[in-house]
Structure 1
Amino acid sequence: MHRLCKRLACCSRRRREEDDIVAITRRSVEEDYDLLHVVGDGKTCRVYRAQSKVDPKSIVAVKVIQTAYLSTPSRVDALQCELRALSQLRAHPRVLTLFAVYQDDNTVALVTSYVRGGQLVPALCARNSINEHTIRQLVRELVEVLAEMHSRGITHRDLKPENLLLDDGDHLKVVDFGIAHIQGTDDAGNKSSQPMVGLCGTGPFMAPEVFNKDVPYTSKVDIWALGVCVYVLLTGHVPFESKFMSVLEDKIRAGDYSMPSHQQVSATARSFVATCLNVRAADRPSATSLLRHPWLDLDQVQSVFTVPFTPDHMACLAAYANPSTAAPCIHTSLQANSNRPR
């Protein structure tokens, strides 16, 4: 067995009592599940729709990571942090439920709930009609998740529409805690005051302070990313865009953006986005405070909330959902290795 995977199992045993982390099963996931087909494929893992061999009616998602990828302590620590975050949040209805973790000589596999609706933006595009009220309902669910995460000291650090799924009941699910940070401990689970530092996240969704080398930042980076997500859902575009990271950084630091004039967006929605996209992290509200923003008061009714998105707006969302049809932009997740203990 790969020595780093042994370290992962050791960390799991050490943290299980304190964090109620899901125990690691020492055998291949394929002994208990049939991997039916691939539903997601990335640089670091492959995600399958799978079926339980014990209960064929039980359909789950299985994220398979090759142990060859776990070639450095920082990558093992990142996986351990993901397991801890999912374990702490597994009772939350808007986060994937982590059922089990399997480990053999070649792979580590995470078994989670399967979300049939798929990624948020393509799922919205598949509908005949959506409006601003649809978006604010989903955003309120997302802010509720962030409030719970941040109260537990968990910062996602890669919040973006691609990491949001829609379930059968049209409710949101947050996924991919692969570069999350848990406050008060290092990513291996040891007691530490190590802060979040370093370039981390996905280009257009990164907050200005993330670009400050070796300067610690806080969970307010998730609030900035939330603002970018809402902007995308309301317009079909990211507010800051460039195929060059240096240019993108300048745009983000300046915080200079505008809503497309041809798309009807309410004043309260614009206010919500502006509140999140404050270039000063200290002036951004907490997730708990954002729940009191007028735009998220679902009892408040305005005619603009119910106006169906135009065909042009839906076309913009479809283009975002299919990057091959859009202009090139930096959409690769970055992991801040400087933030991982060696």
Structure 2
Amino acid sequence: MARAPVRSSQAKVVSNILEKHGYQLGQYLGKGAYAIVWEAYFKKWRTNVAVKVLMKDKAEAEFLSKFLPREIQVWKGLKHPNLINFYQSIETTNRVYIMLELAPGGEVMDKIRMKGACDERTAGKWFEQLCQGMAYIHSKGVVHRDLKLENLLLDQHDNIKISDFGFCKFAATDVKNLKQVQLSETYCGSYAYVPPEVLQGIPYNPFLSDVWSMGVILFTLRTGKLPFDDSNLRRLLKQMIKGPIFTQKHASISLECKDLVRGTLASDVHRYSLHTIFDHPWMLPLVRERPPYLRDMDALYLRPHLRRSTQRLMTIRHTDGGTRSTANLVSSTRLVHPEALRSPSPPPSPPAHRPPLHARPPLQRSWGGREEGGRAESERERERGRGLAKDGRRRE
């Protein structure tokens, strides 16, 4: 691989460090709040990798001391064909270098933005691979907590690779037997992908939260748009309680697929487990190999302790008399603050006309799906109005 031109002093520093460890710096791939990502060539393996470079001076102390070590600890212990592989981490005085498997196919989000909704065959292939990867992750007692289209990458054969484990954690208190679940009180993720119990700020089962996010992904794969409009939190919650809406435009979606979407986007009391998803009629013809550990994971999805919280949410089920606007395919990971739902908010303005997703120009996006500029800026302005953290980063 030919070396890309070095255009900055920072790139020179990164290049020098990588050279010492056998890597040759390649092209720039993108950036996030704390990190810049380059492609690099690992001389020993004769293969290209992705190098995520985190700048310590831009990251907060809690991120460096808590979240980053946990992400590395969990990620390097996970090995599955549908996960981005973790190779190595290098720490220097000013930076942390994380070497990861390169996904040359890019993000699934970009495919949807450029081409629109997937056909049933493609959506089935990708969703089955997502289920295989998530079943493996859950079998290790780990939850992802930030599943979204931006974090689903594609290899050279268009196979799904789950990425970005910044919110992951061990949530099963008995990992060996997978019998007990530690409820999560970190209200994190992207508004359009988190379940209603997260928006309400109620301790929730994170394994069921991942299932909800998978349902949002399946809906979006088949329709080309997100199921819920996240521009207003109160309206978002009401739409979630009502459930996904299929119209005449979705006549090409099979009844079995629609039923699976409704089951994954149900209340926490009735939401499907991964075991149920693999047994669903729409999934059975798609499953390449049934994970042997599925039946041992049933206890991870128990939710009698969440019944009261769901009943409280149901009290607003029939209060939405407004119209639904098409949700834009833009999401950014942030901390969800329940106070934003309790504080008064001005009435939403009528949604502007939006062209079809495949006709819109692509956003400038950083590696891992954190947008720069464009709509992301308006989202930050809305966050400040709701009292959210300005940077939208993870906290606990």
Tell me the TM-score range normalised by the shorter chain: 0.7 to 0.9
Q: What is the rounded CA distance, in whole Å, between the counterparts of 2:40 and 2:169 in structure 1?
A: 29
2:117–2:224 Cα contact (<8 Å) kept: no
Q: Distance in 1 between matches of 2:247 and 2:54?
A: 41
Aligned to 1:39: 29
Which residue, 154, 169, 176 being the options, matches 2:164? 176
RMSD of equivalent CA atoms: 3.2
Q: Return closer, same or farther for 1:164/1:291 CA change in 2, 3 Å cut-off.
A: same
Does residue 113 (structure 1) correspond to residue 171 (structure 2)? The answer is no
Q: Does 1:65 align with 2:54?
A: yes
Q: Are 2:271 and 1:284 equivalent residues in the alignment? A: yes
Q: Residue by residue, what CA displacement relative to the aligned partner does 1:110-161 show, whole Å, maximum 9, x if unpaired?
A: 1011111110132466679952111111101101111111111111111000
35-44 or 152-161: which moved more? 35-44
d(CA) in 2 for partners of 1:31 and 1:299? Answer: 46
Give structure 2 stretches of 5+ with no counterpart.
1-15, 174-180, 288-354, 365-373, 384-390
Q: Please list, as runs of the form range in 1=range in 2, the aligned pairs for 1:176-325 lying within 5 A after superposition.
A: 176-184=164-172, 195-213=183-201, 215-252=203-240, 254-263=241-250, 264-279=252-267, 281-298=268-285, 315-316=356-357, 319=360, 322=363
> TM-score by structure 1 length?
0.74
Q: Does residue 77 in structure 1 map to residue 66 in structure 2?
A: yes
Letter in 2 for 1:142: L
Q: Tell me the secondary structure at the aligned position of residue 80 of structure 1.
A: helix
1:54: how far off? 4.5
Equivalences for residues 22-171 of structure 1 within 5 A: 28-32=17-21, 33-54=23-44, 57-89=46-78, 91-123=79-111, 131-171=119-159
Q: CA separation in 2, counterparts of 1:46 and 1:207? A: 30
State the shift of 1:170 in Å.
1.9
Percent identity of equivalent pairs: 25
Q: Secondary structure at the match of 2:279?
A: coil
Match of 1:337 in 2: 395
Task: Give the Cα separation in 2 of the matches to 1:94 and 1:50.
Answer: 22
Distance 1:316 1:88 in 2: 37
Contact 2:243 2:266 in 1 (8 A): no
Whole-angstrom distance in 2 between the partners of 1:109 and 1:169: 27
Q: 1:334 to 1:247 in 2, by over 3 A?
A: farther
Between 122-131 and 176-185, the greater mean CA deviation after superposition: 122-131
Cα distance, 1:317 vs structure 2: 5.0
Aligned length: 288
- Measure the CA separation in 2 of the matches of 1:211 and 1:126: 30
Q: Report the 3-state secondary structure (helix = DSSP H, G, I; strand = E; otherwise coil) of the residue aligned with 2:24.
A: strand
TM-score between both structures, scaled by the size of structure 2: 0.65
1:41-87 Cα shifts (integer Å, max 9, x gaps): 111222211112445x3200011111124432354311122112211
Q: Find the aligned partners of 1:320 and 1:207 in 2 and give their Cα distance.
A: 29
